[in-house]
Chains A and B, each alone.
Chain A
Amino acid sequence: MLAVESLELEILRGRPRKVVRNVSFSVPRGRVTCLVGESGCGKSLTCLAILGLLPEAVRRTGGTITIDGERVNDLSPEHLQALRGGKAAMILQNPMSCFDPICTVKSHFLESLAAHGGNPGRLSPEVMPESDLARARRSLAEVGFDSPDDILDAYPFQLSGGMLQRVMVALALLSEIRLLLADEPTTDLDVVSQARILTLLDETRRRHGMGVLLVTHDIGVVARMADFVVVMHKGEVVEQGEVATLFAAPRHAYTRALLQAHLSLYGLSFGDEAVGTVSPEPCLAAATPGPVPEEVRIR
């Protein structure tokens, strides 16, 4: 679905420096690939590069990105624009700042619809055609809103972070996307909202069969969601593989440190002598939050 090969990104400001070096990984259809690593190691820039949205100060100096057989590097700006939100969508970290404060949720839907096969040109929320409105409602219902119309009429500041994050998923689901990038979608949310968003992402992936690239630095999230894990450290991929294998036998020192840091939260340890022999079960058990109680499930 998505293949990133030897991606190289360089920051132009000041003395040029490479922030992402030789990063290769792939995200298969219908699976969740987790991209983990500490803050500032280049996870977000990698995501932005995939959609061709690098900030001005950052440039891709090498490597190729392929989405669904299409080389993103070769696409014209118009094709890229059609790709964003059409084939691939992205969910950002801080839902509170991702909505234009002066536009209602409806306007945001209108805009995404206009960009992707809705009625173009018409951008006044009052004249949203019924077919588009139905699409928006369906999408909102899918992410668990009981009364989509109330949400459509709300301004972003009237909704909580968790609700906005679900709205963001709903926006992504307007088109039949093949690839969903989620850049730390739960980092800024409270625990209950986190669980709800993760469940939602999982259900969505299962229903639509899209590939998901989930960026996180929370091993708990990895344990719960991932099929594959890619570990980044200082701009390079230091280790990748299936989640069970990786947790059972982390080869790289950084991966080990990451797991250790997580386990120590639960008073467990991951001694060097045990590496390789320890079964993944205790890690996973410690890392996985329990099932979400029924009453906090999506209403």
Chain B
Amino acid sequence: MTLLRTLLSGRTTRLAFVAACAVLLVALFAPLLSSWDPDDIDLSQKLQAPSREHLLGTDHLGRDVLARLLHGARASLGSVAVIVAAILLLSLSVGSVAGYAGGMVDAFLMRLCDTFLTFPTFILAMFLIGILGAGMTNVILAIVCTHWAWYARIIRGLVLSLKTREHVLAARVAGTGQFRLVMRHILPGVFPQILVLATLDIGHMMLHVSGLSFLGLGVQPPTAEWGVMINDARQYIWTQPQLLFYPGLAIFVTVMAFNLLGDGLRDALDPVGETGGWGK
């Protein structure tokens, strides 16, 4: 809780925190926030200007833009949540095993990471989609494959430095077992740093998801997603620019919010890394 207070002491971070929470709430409660079905096509109502009925107007198929925007938060954040969870699971296990075990195990796992680090996200995504077909699952797979190794390397480095700390030695001297040592003395030291990294990366992942969806590789139309919406609006860029503007703004605000939040988190946690003085 004190961490939260430190975090929210900066104005920018406070704003970012509010924005990020707002996007999260929107994603959770999208169906309650708009009475329109985002996929409800009504060609007689296409490309309507904003009105009392359609607060942000309608798109080229007569769907309510606000409803699509709100539901788009679900697709974007939902997929990013899956990606982050998968990356953390993979990298925490691989990174901590490599860092803690050392020797051959470490060397092998790190070469494995190097292999994964050589794939650029977009190329691997296209490759996977070429083989397995377009779809969100494959995009998630591609992003996880190209990002987990970064995390694994960083976690390994943190574990390496943490395991030589004296309090870890002291715990071993007292007869603490390996598993407990890692779970209770090493990983808790890794989490804050990884939390910062993951928060900073949420925006980055979201751009990947939307970017790939924009290219038609990720979320498939007609599902409401911000990248898909921008793609749909492409043909109307001169006549109806607001159709591009709304999802663009949504992506911008969300990415910005998570980046600033990550920065704030890093600042709030930094003195901890220096002195080890938690929870004062």
Q: Are A92 and B173 touching (Cβ within 8 A)? A: yes
Q: Are A53 and B177 touching (Cβ within 8 A)? A: no
| Inter-chain contacts of A112 with B (CB < 8 A) | 174-176
Residue among B173, B174, B176, B276 making CB contact with A101, cutoff 8 Å: B276
| Inter-chain contacts of A99 with B (CB < 8 A) | 167, 170
Q: Are A53 and B169 touching (Cβ within 8 A)? A: yes
Residue among B166, B175, B277 making CB contact with A85, cutoff 8 Å: B175
In the complex, what distance in Å separates the CA atom of A99 from the CA atom of B174?
A: 12
- Flag whether A86 is at the interface (Cβ < 8 A): yes
| Inter-chain contacts of B102 with A (CB < 8 A) | 56
Q: Are A98 and B174 touching (Cβ within 8 A)? A: no
| Inter-chain contacts of B188 with A (CB < 8 A) | 100, 102
Q: Are B175 and A55 touching (Cβ within 8 A)? A: no
Scan residues 79-97 of chain A and give those whose CB is less than 8 A from a CB of chain B: 81-86, 89-90, 92, 94, 97
Q: Are B173 and A85 touching (Cβ within 8 A)? A: yes
Residue among B165, B171, B280 making CB contact with A97, cutoff 8 Å: B165
| Inter-chain contacts of B277 with A (CB < 8 A) | 101, 157
| Inter-chain contacts of B167 with A (CB < 8 A) | 97-101
Interface residues on A, range: 20 to 34
Q: How far is the CB of B176 from chain A (nearest CB, A)?
A: 6
Q: Are A81 and B177 touching (Cβ within 8 A)? A: yes
| Inter-chain contacts of B280 with A (CB < 8 A) | 157
Could you mark each residue 169-207 of chain A with 1 if its beta carbon is under 8 Å from any beta carbon of chain B, else 0?
001000000000000000000000000000000000000
- Flag whether A155 is at the interface (Cβ < 8 A): yes
- Flag whether B234 is at the interface (Cβ < 8 A): no
Specify the chain A residue showing the minimal Cβ separation from B165. A97
Q: How far is the CB of A182 from chain B (nearest CB, A)?
A: 11
Q: How far is the CB of B175 from chain A (nearest CB, A)?
A: 4
Q: How far is the CB of B144 from chain A (nearest CB, A)?
A: 30
Could you mark each residue 145-178 of chain B with 1 if its beta carbon is under 8 Å from any beta carbon of chain A, else 0?
0000000000000000000111101111111110
| Inter-chain contacts of B164 with A (CB < 8 A) | 55
Specify the chain A residue showing the minimal Cβ separation from B186. A100
| Inter-chain contacts of A83 with B (CB < 8 A) | 175
Q: Are A92 and B176 touching (Cβ within 8 A)? A: no
Residue among A53, A86, A97, A123 making CB contact with B172, cutoff 8 Å: A53
Q: How far is the CB of B163 from chain A (nearest CB, A)?
A: 9
Q: Are B173 and A53 touching (Cβ within 8 A)? A: yes
Q: Are A101 and B166 touching (Cβ within 8 A)? A: no
Q: Are A102 and B278 touching (Cβ within 8 A)? A: yes
Residue among A86, A98, A157 making CB contact with B175, cutoff 8 Å: A86
Q: How far is the CB of A237 from chain B (nearest CB, A)?
A: 24
Q: How far is the CB of B218 from chain A (nearest CB, A)?
A: 40
Say whether, besides A97-B165, A101-B167, A157-B277, A111 and B173 are in contact (CB < 8 Å).
no
In the complex, what distance in Å separates the CA atom of A41 from the CA atom of B185?
A: 30
Q: Are A115 and B174 touching (Cβ within 8 A)? A: yes
Specify the chain A residue showing the minimal Cβ separation from B173. A90
- Flag whether A116 is at the interface (Cβ < 8 A): yes
Scan residues 126-157 of chain A and give those whose CB is less than 8 A from a CB of chain B: 155, 157
Specify the chain B residue showing the minimal Cβ separation from A77. B178
| Inter-chain contacts of A81 with B (CB < 8 A) | 175-177
- Flag whether B180 is at the interface (Cβ < 8 A): yes
- Flag whether A51 is at the interface (Cβ < 8 A): yes
In the complex, what distance in Å separates the CA atom of A55 from the CA atom of B172?
A: 12
Q: Are B175 and A84 touching (Cβ within 8 A)? A: yes
Interface residues of B (CB under 8 A from A): 102-103, 164-167, 169-177, 180, 184-185, 188, 276-280
Q: Which 6 A-B pairs have the closest CB atoms?
A: A85-B175, A115-B175, A98-B170, A84-B175, A101-B276, A97-B166
Taking A86-B175, A90-B173, A98-B169 as given, write out 8 further A-B residue pairs in contact, using a Cβ cutoff of 8 Å, ordered by the A residue number. Answer: A85-B173, A92-B166, A92-B173, A100-B167, A101-B277, A112-B174, A123-B180, A168-B170
